[in-house]
Structure 1
Amino acid sequence: MRRNSIRTTVLAATALLAALSLTACGSEDGSSASAKAGSAAPAAHTAVKQSPPPAATASPEEKTTDTSTSTGTGTGTGTSNTPKNTAPPAKSDAKNTTRSTDGSTDRAGDTPVRTPVTCHGGNTKTTVSTVSRPLNHLLLTLTNTGDRPCYAYYAPKLRFDDAQAVFPILDDSRPQAVVTLDPGQSAYAAIGLTGEPGAGPAPREATHLQVNFSGRNFEGSSGTPVNLALPSDTFWDDNGFVTYWQSDMADALTY
């Protein structure tokens, strides 16, 4: 009897232990499943609330930078390299150019055209003076007193007092180009009064000199002649000469 009681007790304890073991296992499985379910649910919730990736939404700074870059490109390919206040060169209208009948004024509309004319006694001032070197020389100075450039063609054509022939012109003094005088500028010609002593008639004294001016055609004279009073004790002979007009005084006095 006692033995049956002990066996019953042992069986009851074994059953209790088995029941507790099953309860514990069920608790562990439930907790693990709940943990897994709880872990999965927040993950799904987070995916719904997730903000777009940074590349999808530009920041205000990025927008400003993009706008600035776009503006800079437009300026670079536009007209920033061309000054806005630069006017194109003015075009002249040749059809408006007129000339007066005496050739003294050329105008394109109301703007004077400074077309050169021939130098002569009416638009220049001519003077004669002595020089220390070379000996027996005089210097003619021709100054443009007009308002237009003038051409000093060839050489002055000189006559002493009532001489019949024009004074000889020294061809070796011919310049490379016609001398052009702007208003106020001067040209020069040297007068060699006599040749080698004893080479011809004796020198003659003169008191006046007539100066005639050449035109484009050397033959004849152009414009108004000039009569000058000569320095005292001026003597000349037929072997003397006058040079071509020169733009430099020193060039004239080298002959």
Structure 2
Amino acid sequence: MRIRRTSHLLALTALTALALTACEDGTGVQDEGASRPASSTATAAQPTPATDKGAGTTPSKDTAGSTGGTAGNTGAGKGSATGGDTGARTDDKADTASGSRVLCNGSNTEVTAEPVARPLNHMLLTVTNTGSRTCDLTYYPVVRFDEMQWVPQAAEKTRPQAVTSLAPGESGYAGVLLSAADGSGDGGQTAKKLTVAFQGYTPNSDGGASATPPLPAKGLYYDSSLTVTYWQQGMDDALSW
């Protein structure tokens, strides 16, 4: 009995020693392997921070885009300031100062005066630039029939937003109301001669040589209703009043 117990104790001791030795020399890798899925899980989870990091870079791109847009807007603003109305005004001043633009008058234009069927009792003045430089038709024509001692006024509602300018060969227009359609005008008479004077760059200033376009052989009837339009770029605008 003592021998069996001793054998049993020796066997148990040997198994215990073997178990301890296995733990020390790495045979417990199964336990470590069991913990590896957690490590693998952590590794698999790593793309999430990477994705977050990528998402974090998106605002940077948006910011850069916004900066680019701001720069684009700034550039557009500069373009508008440089090439807009200010530039046009500068060009106008430069042209006038350098003498490349002149006033339209009887010396550099051809002027015609023709009665029209519509509107009733109207006449159309046409001024064609026969010179070699652009000329300006300022304000309205100063019309005088025969030796009349008064100056017809202009219809204020026909004032254009810009001076009528004529390049060589181009024409400008003005409409003339000769008499009231209802016969309410006073001092009616038939004119045989017409003189058209031009204004300068300030109202009622001298714009240069006058023109004397011929009238129909029978003359033109006018009365106290005689009114003119401002110079217009288009014929329709001159006769729409």
Class of the TM-score when normalised by the shorter of the 2 chains = 0.5 to 0.7
1:230 is paired with a residue whose SS is: coil
Residue 213 of structure 2 is aligned to residue 228 of structure 1 = yes
Alignment of 1:1-255 (within 5 A): 21-46=1-26, 54=39, 62=47, 65=50, 69=54, 72=57, 75-76=60-61, 79-81=64-66, 82=68, 88=75, 89=78, 99=94, 103-105=98-100, 119-121=104-106, 126-142=111-127, 150=136, 152-153=138-139, 155-160=140-145, 163-165=146-148, 168-170=151-153, 173-175=155-157, 177-180=159-162, 181-183=164-166, 188-194=173-179, 196=183, 199-200=186-187, 203-206=189-192, 208-237=193-222, 239-245=224-230, 247=232, 252-253=238-239
1:236 is paired with a residue whose SS is: strand
Give how far 1:45 is off.
2.5
Aligned to 1:11: none
1:54 is paired with a residue whose SS is: helix
- The two structures, once aligned, show a CA RMSD in angstroms of 4.8
8 Å CA contact 2:191–2:219 kept in 1: the answer is yes
Q: Structure 2 CA distance, aligned partners of 1:228 and 1:124? A: 11
Greater gyration radius: 1
8 Å CA contact 1:169–1:244 kept in 2: the answer is no
Q: Deviations over 1:158-178 (max 9, x none)?
A: 233xx333664245x213755
1:130 is paired with a residue whose SS is: strand
The one-letter code of the counterpart of 2:156 is R
Q: Deviations over 1:5-64 (max 9, x none)?
A: xxxxxxxxxxxxxxxx11211122122222122112222222997699838x968x8599
Give how far 1:157 is off.
0.8
- Report the TM-score, using the length of structure 1 for normalisation: 0.57
The one-letter code of the counterpart of 1:169 is P
2:229 is paired with a residue whose SS is: coil
* Count of matched residue pairs: 214
Give how far 1:140 is off.
1.9
Q: Deviations over 1:190-240 (max 9, x none)?
A: 323346489436x3342x532111234333431333332223433234535
1:158 is paired with a residue whose SS is: strand
Answer 1 or 2: higher relative contact order, Cα 8 Å, separation at least 6: 2
| Structure 1 gaps, min length 5 | 1-20, 106-115
Q: Structure 1 CA distance, aligned partners of 2:26 and 2:54? A: 37
Q: Structure 1 CA distance, aligned partners of 2:96 and 2:235? A: 36
> Which structure dedicates a bigger proportion of its chain to strand?
1
> Which structure dedicates a bigger proportion of its chain to helix?
2
Q: Deviations over 1:65-90 (max 9, x none)?
A: 4797399359537634417x959335
Q: Structure 2 CA distance, aligned partners of 1:149 and 1:68? A: 68
Percent identity (aligned): 21
Give how far 1:138 is off.
0.8
Q: Structure 2 CA distance, aligned partners of 1:230 and 1:68? A: 88
Q: Structure 1 CA distance, aligned partners of 2:207 and 2:216? A: 26
